[in-house]
Amino acid sequence: MKTAISMPFRQWINLVWIGLSCLHAGCSKIEFLPNRLVAAATLHSTDEMQVDKVAGEAYAIATTLFGTPDEPSWPTELPNVVDMAEVSRSAGPVGRAYDKIERGLYRKHCVQCHGITGDGAGAAASLLAPYPRDFRRGTFKFKSTSIGTKPNKA
């Protein structure tokens, strides 16, 4: 004899399933991906092994010099043109520390379009025209005035 599961019980099971699915979302490790397109263009090659090797080496160098999305750094050999306190505040997960200062501003405002690594391949990128900039290339608009002042008018 078949027994029917009551409707409220079935709804409760579905609600638990949805809740567990939401808790599991976003649990993957955040990391930079090698920029294979730039490596291929630099080499003028389509040889997969050679492109992967150069992309891997570039990834290692970039990570050593500039850190990761959660822990950015700035090389001491380069001029101090960025405020690392602001960069650190913008990086990492969204939230507030004990000092009540908001953190993770890039992930809150930019990651949907530009992606976690700044490659321009965020979740909403395919819906935009033109596509978001690829910040990894280092060719993007920036202001040339000192920190804390408004940019000059073009």
Q: Do 32 and 43 meet the contact criterion of CB atoms below 8 Å apart?
A: no
pLDDT, position 151: 66
Q: Which one, of 141, 138, 132, 91, lies nearest residue 113 by Cα?
A: 132
Q: Which of 66-70, 83-87, 98-102, 144-148 has the lowest mean pLDDT?
A: 144-148
- The pLDDT of 100-127, averaged and rounded, is 88
**The two structure tokens encoding residue 98:** 């004990």
Q: Do 93 and 104 meet the contact criterion of CB atoms below 8 Å apart?
A: yes
pLDDT, position 58: 82
Is the pLDDT higher at 64 or at 41? 64
pLDDT, position 70: 85
In degrees, to the nearest 5, what angle opens at C-alpha 72 toward C-alphas 126 and 42? 60
Q: What is the DSSP letter of 103?
A: E
